[in-house]
Structure 1
Amino acid sequence: MTRWSSGGLTFDLRVGGPADGDPVVLLHGFPQNAAEWDGVTARLNAAGYRTYAPDQRGYSPGARPDTVDAYRIDHLVADVLSLLDHLGLASAHVVGHDWGAIVAWHLTARHPDRVRTLTALSVGHPRAFVTALRSDPDQRKKSSYIYFFRRRWIAERALLAFNARLLRGVFAGAGLSRDEVDGYVRPLRERGALTATLNWYRAMRARDSLNADPVRVPTTYVWSDGDTALGRTAAEATGTYVESDYTFVELEGLTHWLPDQAPERVAEIVLERVSAPAR
């Protein structure tokens, strides 16, 4: 574990693989942390890639600003740019899951010169998602939890009550052991941690997604048919917003927690993307 600082915040960072390997930045989702990538990075490192998996804003103990506005997508994207600058990298391959995928889509759309390839897991292009949320009853049902997460203090109390039973229940169907779930839940029981991570939801704005540009770098999007949060409508529409080489991978019989459930398959998909010759 190492760290970097930016704008008065200090972020934790997991680094692996050969120092001269092509760089891959992996962005985790909620309510996880960089540990979700451990099974994936081991395989990427063995293939010769250098991996960087940060605990993002709100998840790193040294990077928990108090205000909701501090978690706007502009700041989340800026954090990744600061990481690249800290590492001295002009660009890197970027992989994101869940909220990490949202950050990765916005980063790639806004700064295509900093992203060599994009691999997004579970969450499709922001415009595809918001459009589906407005028009597809199935997606509205799947996303109903967001309104709960946006309720300040009420969500925290409910999620952490009874030894964080509800928060632990989020991982139902993921196939994780109790110890593995504890590895995600324990850091969020620290003072202020869960509020900081829920502030990602409270800071989200529809206009940020609707204004997201198409991406113009080689992209792979991975969606699972058992995902309880992301539906088929947005998944199938995502390719509309990619103006480059694009691959859509649908995984059958898996839920939302792809890096935990199928690290071998995820690593294989990432390797296919990052090793593909530029077109």
Structure 2
Amino acid sequence: MVAHRMIDVNGIRLHIAEEGEGPLVVLLHGFPESWHSWHRQFGPLVAAGFRVVAPDQRGYGSSDHPEDVDAYSILHLVGDVVGLIGALGEEKAYVVGHDWGAPVAWHTALFRPDLVLGVAGLSVPPPFRGSRPPLAAMEERFGGRFYWNHFAEPGVADAEFGRDPRTALRKFFYAASGDAPGAGSGRQPLVEPGRGWLDAMRDPEVLPSWFTEDDLDALTESFSGGFTGALNWYRNLDRNWELTAPWHGAVVSRPALYVYGDRDIVPAFPGTPELIARLPELMPELRRPPLKLAGCGHWTQQERPDEVNAALVDFLKELARGV
């Protein structure tokens, strides 16, 4: 049975869901999600002998939502994971992340390899710091229309998502899924001038089978406090680039797994297909070639829970055996 509690971490309070006994596995969600994104992973991971903990990350759900935009840098986010591992009474953990949770997982392994037994990322590949700040680079490349730049505008996407959170989340989850028409086309997520991010998204009459009305209820409830905290993560993209200068050219050295969908929009971002193709040579501890899931969109562990669970259990049990 999944239990819930609040825990003091890194100067804030985080809500966590937890179950099981054994080596610790920390599951980190992305945008716009919550701990609930992982509810189909708890049972298989617990049955495989692991202690599973999924927090609402800062700015999300029942966890604290600091007001200061600067409180959402990658150093704060990794600090939360480091603090969580210690607060749970553990010395080391396996760290798994999806979407924004993946960069947090990858950077935890990069910054604190002494704490990370293994790291897995879903959708977003390992970080290789570019030569320019990402918001500035996308501003120049797409004339400010890339969705990162839209999300970075103070108050704009906050109001757009906040007007009708349930409809916004329903449209967004469907549009980024493998079920949406045109998914996997490689089309970049651009926001046209004078239109909102959600305007061009179809509102499905029927939800995909993997995303139930109960899932949507739980997700909508988690954003009852608004979207600003979650969007502040995007407002730190250029600051994160500055803060990670000491790790320029560094490589994640811990055992790693990367899984993505062939209809996911993120692996089609500029330069990302080329990066994924080179991961086996760039990542010395990538334990198997990147796993590409056919027909899967962005919501990897929700759209393809069986395949993701099997890959995670195999990866984690292999590491636990010391292979």
TM-score range, shorter chain: 0.7 to 0.9
- Counterpart in the other structure of 1:188: 223
- Counterpart in the other structure of 2:14: 11
Distance between the aligned counterparts of 2:75 and 2:279, measured in 1? 21
Q: SS of the counterpart of 1:238?
A: helix
- Counterpart in the other structure of 2:199: none
Distance between the aligned counterparts of 1:224 and 1:251, measured in 2? 5
- The counterpart of 1:179, out of the listed 214, 225, 234, is 214
1:128 and 1:237 in contact (8 A); partners too: no
Root-mean-square deviation over aligned CA pairs: 2.6
1:127 and 1:209 in contact (8 A); partners too: no
Is it true that 1:155 corresponds to 2:157 in the alignment? Answer: yes
- Counterpart in the other structure of 2:183: none
Bigger Rg, which one:
2
Distance between the aligned counterparts of 2:277 and 2:131, measured in 1? 13
Distance between the aligned counterparts of 2:322 and 2:243, measured in 1? 29
Structure 2 unaligned segments of length 5 or more: list them: 179-207
Higher helix content, 1 or 2: 1
Look up the equivalent residue of 1:194 and give its one-letter code: F
Is it true that 1:229 corresponds to 2:266 in the alignment? Answer: yes
Look up the equivalent residue of 2:262 and give its one-letter code: D
Distance between the aligned counterparts of 1:46 and 1:130, measured in 2? 44
Change (3 A) 1:129 1:42: farther
Distance between the aligned counterparts of 2:31 and 2:310, measured in 1? 23
Deviates more, 1:238-247 or 1:6-15: 238-247
Q: SS of the counterpart of 1:75?
A: helix
Cα offsets for 1:162-190 (capped at 9, x unmatched)? 45533331101363123312321232132
Q: SS of the counterpart of 1:119?
A: strand
Look up the equivalent residue of 1:242 and give its one-letter code: M
Distance between the aligned counterparts of 1:118 and 1:107, measured in 2? 9
- Counterpart in the other structure of 1:266: 308
Change (3 A) 1:62 1:47: closer
1:130 and 1:209 in contact (8 A); partners too: no
Is it true that 1:54 corresponds to 2:87 in the alignment? Answer: no
Cα offsets for 1:111-163 (capped at 9, x unmatched)? 111010111100001217889x7999xx979x921111111111111122345
2:122 and 2:259 in contact (8 A); partners too: yes
1:129 and 1:234 in contact (8 A); partners too: no
Structure 1 unaligned segments of length 5 or more: list them: none
What displacement does 1:243 show? 2.4
Distance between the aligned counterparts of 2:95 and 2:27, measured in 1? 6
What displacement does 1:200 show? 0.4
Distance between the aligned counterparts of 1:127 and 1:209, measured in 2? 10
Deviates more, 1:144-153 or 1:56-65: 56-65
Q: SS of the counterpart of 1:109?
A: helix
Look up the equivalent residue of 1:69 and give its one-letter code: D
Look up the equivalent residue of 1:99 and give its one-letter code: W
When normalised by structure 2's length, the TM-score is 0.77
- Counterpart in the other structure of 1:145: 147
Deviates more, 1:233-242 or 1:72-81: 233-242
1:11 and 1:60 in contact (8 A); partners too: no
Change (3 A) 1:262 1:68: same
What displacement does 1:257 show? 0.4
Aligned positions of 1:88-103 closer than 5 A: 88-103=89-104
What displacement does 1:237 show? 3.4
What displacement does 1:107 show? 0.4
